[in-house]
Chain A
Amino acid sequence: MTDAASAPLNAWDRVKLARHPERPHTLAYLSELSPRFVELHGDRSFGDDLALIGGIADFDGIAVMVLGHQKGGNTKENIARNFGMARPEGYRKAERLMRHAEKFRMPVVSLIDTPGAEPGIGSEERGQGTAIAESLLTMADLAVPTVALVIGEGGSGGALAIGVSDRILMMENAIYAVASPEACAAILWKDAGKAPEAAETMRITAADLLGLGLIDEIVPEPVSADEAPREAIAAAGAAIGRHLRELLQEFPLDDPAAMRRLKDERYQRFRRIGAWREDAAVLAGIANGVLP
């Protein structure tokens, strides 16, 4: 399975690697990459979500706010961490910490690793959709540089909620998708068993998404992260550090004009995304006053 050089991995192989139980999660990254990490808890309104953690870290000499989904390493941990599926209080905590970061001019580093936001009765009662939307809104308008790295599963809106970033990176064996391949297969193929086919069609691998211009860089995993976690984490740290330094150089934190430029560029980055065309005949009709 690790002999990636001889047989290229297909999308479904990547899905399995992205979900591999031995794959390092957010806290493993933090303990390798930051000599100092102070975790901050709670959304100040309902609770603390262990599936989405955050805190201030010394990252390669830069004080940053780190946000990350946290999966468990075993079943017991996974139950405590809700398998990395955040609830509204998780997104509200993330949103609170983003504002904290903005207040003290700390860049935000997001480590994305979730099957998706939790589908549940309590989550709906507490406004899962609204919580994600508010996190998106705050992040889109944040006056500090932001870097996101998908370290495992980038599962839909629950992933994007902390991923409206100036730079978006992916580990080589990470995936990022609008829905899980299983859900997509169940809906569009009417057969969840067609998930491998759906995974291929959905273009969810790092290489696919770089090709579509949706991410900036792939962090290579010559040996997949489940087998060589320290190497993968070191490569991730180097990539994040490089992007942070570039951003800080281009957009000095103490320069309000630079922060406006940063927000503008972030807006344009997301503004451009999409595939559409304008029907020439209709445009001509409008120009000539002939309505379709």
Chain B
Amino acid sequence: MPAMREFLSRRGKFRPKGREDETGAPQIPDDLWTKCPSCGDIIYTKELERSGQVCPKCDHHFRLRARERIELLTDEDSFYEWDIALRGQDPLRFVDGGGSYAKKLEQTREKSGEDEALITGSATIAGHRCALAVADFGFLGASMGSVFGEKLVRAIERAADARVPIITMNASGGARMHEGLLSLMQMAKTVAALARLGDAGVPHVAVLTDPCYGGVTASYATVADIVMAEPGALIGFAGPRVIEQITKQKLPEGFQTAEFLLAHGMIDMIVPRAELRERLADILALYQLAETVSHGSIVGTREVGAGRD
């Protein structure tokens, strides 16, 4: 079965996570202490690690690299990475003020330790199988270009074929401008794959994390069957500075935060990082139950009022 071969294209161990200031990952003054950018508190780094990089004082959710998210979310040793051979190209021979895109890709791969801005694979969460697509903001701001789109579409197609839900963990600065219109078209490509996933009746759950903007917000991430966000995450179509410049208006308090989106009816829920794994497991279990019941099998005989086990 080709699907099984895909499952076995495993990368192996997680690689060490390179932490960089520009990714918004914790800045570490020394090994022991980390300063929270939100409340300014000095936090014991070990404590921060234990809490999944959430400030114990103010609940600020630090940005995470994709592999850190996978590690936090999935059952140990359950993650099998897909399409690790996919590499970006420089179709436009794009050269900007900072040099060529080809060179930039090469440098970014070295610096970030990743080959592209999206990591996909299969995993289990509390025993429930799912496909995963996790954006890495440390790779060119998780901008969506050809490889990002292709990896995501392959993951969606495999999820549809295997009838396994897909969870996308999203962060993005927008489209990968260096690939021009090819990048824009990834919006259509990924959404088209989701349309077929929907036709197959297979769920897509999206988790929006800080920051999530542009072409990702305006395509696959917001048409999920369930959209959730991390507390305080900034999510929008246009960036706040652009809006401020163009409208010359003062932005309202809390503009484009996850809480703002929830209040405006744009997302289903806000889930603190510490509860994400359990919440996703619940959702996967409920979809599984729906699938079972839809095939005519009702197993529960629980008495009314018995509550959950």
B residues near A276, Cβ cutoff 8 Å: 86-89, 146-147, 150
A residues near B182, Cβ cutoff 8 Å: 212, 214, 273-275
B residues near A3, Cβ cutoff 8 Å: none
B249 within 8 A of A: yes
A164-B192, A291-B10 given; A127·B98 CB < 8 A: no
Chain B min CB distance to A20 (Å): 21
Mark interface residues in B138-150 (1 if CB within 8 Å of A CB, else 0).
0000000111011
B184 within 8 A of A: yes
CA distance A161 to B219 in the complex (A): 9
Greatest chain B CB density within 10 A among A121, A124, A132, A204 is at A124
Q: Residue of B at shortest CB range from A282? A: B85
A61 within 8 A of B: no
> Binding site of A, secondary structure by majority: helix, strand, loop or mixed?
helix
Count of A-B residue pairs with CB < 8 Å: 219
Interface positions, chain B 143-164, Cβ under 8 Å from A, are: 145-147, 149-150, 153
Q: Residue of B at shortest CB range from A126? A: B264
Task: Choose among B90, B179, B188 the residue that contacts A136 (Cβ–Cβ < 8 A).
Answer: B188
B residues near A126, Cβ cutoff 8 Å: 264
Chain A min CB distance to B148 (Å): 9
Chain B min CB distance to A140 (Å): 4
Task: Choose among B12, B175, B185, B247 the residue that contacts A291 (Cβ–Cβ < 8 A).
Answer: B12
Task: Choose among A119, A130, A188 the residue that contacts B266 (Cβ–Cβ < 8 A).
Answer: A130
Q: Are A204 and B181 in contact (CB under 8 A)?
A: yes
Determine the interface band of chain A, counting residues with CB < 8 A from chain B: 35 or more
B residues near A292, Cβ cutoff 8 Å: 11-12, 84
B29 within 8 A of A: no
A266 within 8 A of B: yes
A255 within 8 A of B: no
Q: Are B97 and A191 in contact (CB under 8 A)?
A: yes
Q: Are A214 and B191 in contact (CB under 8 A)?
A: no
B residues near A156, Cβ cutoff 8 Å: 175, 184, 215
A residues near B243, Cβ cutoff 8 Å: 119-121, 124
CA distance A209 to B94 in the complex (A): 15
Q: Are B180 and A177 in contact (CB under 8 A)?
A: yes
CA distance A123 to B218 in the complex (A): 12
Q: Are A274 and B146 in contact (CB under 8 A)?
A: yes
Q: Are B177 and A179 in contact (CB under 8 A)?
A: yes
Q: Are B222 and A130 in contact (CB under 8 A)?
A: yes
CA distance A16 to B188 in the complex (A): 27
Mark interface residues in A179-200 (1 if CB within 8 Å of B CB, else 0).
1000010011111001000100
Task: Choose among A119, A212, A274 the residue that contacts B246 (Cβ–Cβ < 8 A).
Answer: A119
B residues near A163, Cβ cutoff 8 Å: 188
B137 within 8 A of A: no
Q: Are A178 and B96 in contact (CB under 8 A)?
A: no
A residues near B94, Cβ cutoff 8 Å: 201-202
Chain A min CB distance to B234 (Å): 11
A residues near B218, Cβ cutoff 8 Å: 117, 128-130, 132-133, 136, 157, 161
B40 within 8 A of A: no
B183 within 8 A of A: yes
A134 within 8 A of B: yes
CA distance A176 to B145 in the complex (A): 16
Binding site for A on B (CB under 8 A): 9-12, 84-92, 94-98, 145-147, 149-150, 153, 174-175, 177-189, 191-196, 198-199, 214-215, 217-223, 235-239, 242-243, 246-247, 249, 251-252, 255-256, 260, 264-266
A128-B238, A130-B223, A273-B189 known; 17 new pairs, CB 8 Å cut-off, are: A124-B237, A128-B237, A129-B217, A129-B221, A133-B191, A136-B191, A136-B219, A157-B187, A160-B187, A187-B177, A201-B95, A214-B181, A270-B189, A274-B147, A275-B89, A280-B85, A286-B85
Counting from the closest, the 5 A-B pairs by CB-CB distance are A119-B238, A274-B146, A129-B217, A275-B91, A282-B85
Chosen A-B contacts, 30 in total, with CB atoms closer than 8 Å, are A117-B237, A119-B242, A120-B246, A121-B251, A121-B255, A124-B236, A124-B237, A127-B222, A130-B218, A130-B222, A132-B218, A133-B187, A134-B223, A136-B219, A137-B191, A156-B184, A179-B175, A187-B177, A188-B96, A188-B177, A191-B97, A212-B182, A214-B182, A267-B196, A270-B189, A270-B192, A273-B186, A275-B146, A291-B12, A292-B84
